Structure 1
Amino acid sequence: MRFIFLIFFLLIISFAGHAQLNDLTRLDFTFIPNKGSDVEYTRSRFLVNYPLKLKKEGEYLLLGIDYSNVHLRFKNDELPFDRDLLNDFKLLDFTFGYTKPLKNEWRLGVRFQPGISTNLTAKSLNANDFVFSGDVVFIKSFENDIGRLSRLIVGLSYSQNRGYVFPLPFISYYKKFRPDWSYNIGIPKTNLQYHLSDKHRLKLFTQLDGFTSNIQNGALVNGEEYAEIINMSLINGGLQYEYHFTDHLQLDVRAAYNFSLSNKLKDGKNNTLLTIDNDSRSYFRAVLKFKI
């Protein structure tokens, strides 16, 4: 049981678009329709994680692979760039995580993810295709007199292939305040969860999401400048339904409203060359996971 909680603490540091539970295997599909916008977004994702116990008491290593295919379908035929260069992107991350106990019942979690994020239109990879992500968090759990768990996580998160490419604070406070109710307040995700039964759960959530990728050889924009980076960032909130087939196999279905959604083409210095119209407010996601 202690091993399960340790790996859970390490994996919870992952960002939105990244796994936020103790997943060993995960299939993930996200869809944003092009209603009210010039672009339709779909993302298919697969990841595998494998935890290893180290020699020292309480220390663990996590190894994993995280692959995503992002497909963009542009509705407007008059957009000022070659749509064929920007309709398909590959994201591949290799996960190396480490966790150890600290004094006063605190725990350290560290994760490093080198990888690639690119449209693969050139014959080979180049330096701009390579990205990295990293997280450092400190975790402490509490239990009150009637056995209800609370947990605090604080730290820093950075990723070059998510929607927000700058260091973000990771703050999470979880509390189960009634037998069937719990909440998690923080950045990048906040939720309120109700346990209908052992198999059925409902969750209200808000989150950050998106992706950033290199554009190999660039894409000519307005016949003048070359875009070398594509960035999509969003903030949304909605309802999640969970069905637990077993203690380890789970299906999540989400429907959300996009409060903010931005699609930008940028040059190599991160200057915005073009903002693609995207007023789509709908967000749908389905996740099948096998977890510890």
Structure 2
Amino acid sequence: MSAVIFAQFGNQYDLNIRGRMVGDNNSDASFYTAGISKNIFKFPLKKGKKGVISIGIDYDYAHVNFKADNEVLEKIENLHNIGLNINYFRKLSAKWSLIGRLNPQLNSNFTDGIKGDDFYLNAFGILNYTRSKDSRLSFGLAYSNTLGYPAPIPVVSYWKRFNEKWEMGLGFPRTSVTRTLSLKSKLVGYAELQGYNGNISENIPNPNSQSNIEAERVSYRDIITGIEYRYQIKKFELRVNGGYTVNRNFELQDSNNETAYEFNMENNLNFGVGLGFNF
């Protein structure tokens, strides 16, 4: 599923490649995901006095391995997310700045081509208050299917650097503590909310044969806790992480976004890797 888009509220690398695996642990399904993000270009408005606009693209793929041998579920084993990022940053004063993003996406299994219901529009607006070079408060609103909630949610983050070794980012949907090990490496402990909402190209019968409600959408969300190791060399960064997923929810929804069928999802270990490049 898509990575949370609020890590520092932007993509600090020109190219990001990522992957993640979550096992089943007696759950009804396991997940294997991969994604790539690419910054295309950015340009200042009136030499930066009116802000900076940047454009990027995202693609995420998820393979769902269902434990049950069910022909109906085979249609939603492969889920795709294709998006365009339009980012805006403007410094309002010495201490205040604004970040905004529009993120039109196509989210679907695409078994019947592209349809209107595959289109999702995500957005967020964030105000940053920089108290000092070691302290920043960020808050705003987001509407994003990558969090698994098709509704506006609050976003808040308080970042603090205590010294050369320790810093903290306390907030929602992500909280983290970072320990700088050397000039090239860091260790990060984190907890974050992730998720996915997507259309099912061809409505499928309810896996529960006793129900006649058809499923039209896929919804997934979880909370990931873990530790990430980061190693940076000039314009390249390697990220390796492992952790534990909690509060997992995976369901099929009807046309009213109501639960048509809910899978049994147990908490489980997860592992991920990421690469960042600047050109």
The TM-score with structure 2 as length reference comes to 0.91
Deviation at 1:24, TM superposition (A): 1.4
Question: Out of 219, 235, 253, which is 1:266 matched to?
Answer: 253
Question: 1:219 and 1:207, CA in 2 relative to 1: closer, same or farther beyond 3 A?
Answer: same
Matched, 1:282 2:269: yes
Matched, 1:129 2:118: yes
Deviation at 1:44, TM superposition (A): 0.7
Matched, 1:149 2:134: yes
Identity of aligned residues (%): 26
Question: Out of 7, 17, 22, which is 1:32 matched to?
Answer: 22
Q: Secondary structure at the match of 2:24?
A: coil
Deviation at 1:36, TM superposition (A): 2.0
Matched, 1:160 2:145: yes
Q: Secondary structure at the match of 2:162?
A: strand
Aligned residue type for 2:86? F
Residue of structure 1 in register with 2:52 after alignment: 60
C-alpha contact (below 8 Å) 1:32/1:280 kept by paired residues: no
Residue of structure 1 in register with 2:36 after alignment: 46
Deviation at 1:21, TM superposition (A): 4.2
Matched, 1:225 2:248: no
Pairs within 5 Å for 1:1-292 = 14-15=5-6, 20-49=10-39, 50-58=41-49, 59-77=51-69, 82-103=72-93, 105-122=95-112, 124-143=113-132, 149-221=134-206, 222-223=208-209, 224-246=212-234, 248-291=235-278
Provide the alpha-carbon RMSD of the alignment: 1.9
Unaligned runs of 5+ in 1: 1-12
1:49-76 Cα shifts (integer Å, max 9, x gaps): 1322222434100101000111101112
Distance in 1 of aligned mates of 2:184 and 2:93: 37
Aligned residue type for 1:174? W
Distance in 1 of aligned mates of 2:150 and 2:95: 32
Distance in 1 of aligned mates of 2:257 and 2:100: 28
What is the count of residue pairs matched by the alignment?
Answer: 271
Deviation at 1:260, TM superposition (A): 0.9
Aligned residue type for 1:126? K
Aligned residue type for 2:217? I
Deviation at 1:105, TM superposition (A): 2.7
Q: Runs of 4+ in structure 1 displaced over 3 angstroms?
A: 18-21
Unaligned runs of 5+ in 2: none
Distance in 1 of aligned mates of 2:107 and 2:48: 37
Distance in 2 of aligned mates of 1:61 and 1:30: 30
1:79-125 Cα shifts (integer Å, max 9, x gaps): 5x612111001101101111122145311111101120000111x32
Question: 1:19 and 1:57, CA in 2 relative to 1: closer, same or farther beyond 3 A?
Answer: closer
